Amino acid sequence: MQRKFIGFAALLAVMGLAACETVQGAGRDISTAGEVIQQESAEAQAGM
């Protein structure tokens, strides 16, 4: 019984770490997209 609990806890820990990395990567992607939009907006305003 205790061995199953340890295995389950280890599985949850690995899944938790993977989820953190995924959210962190998504945050970076969104940040990069925002920067591109800002640059394009500034170029469009400068051309007016």
pLDDT digits 0-9 by tens, 13-39: 887 777 777 878 888 888 999 999 999
Token pair recorded at residue 29? 């992607």
pLDDT digits 0-9 by tens, 5-14: 888 888 878 8
Q: What pLDDT shows up at residue 35?
A: 93
Residue with tokens 């500034």: 42
pLDDT at 1 over 80: no
Please tell me the pTM assigned to this model.
Answer: 0.56
Q: How far is CA 27 from CA 23, 24, 30, 33, 35, in A?
A: 6, 5, 5, 10, 12
DSSP for residue 33: H
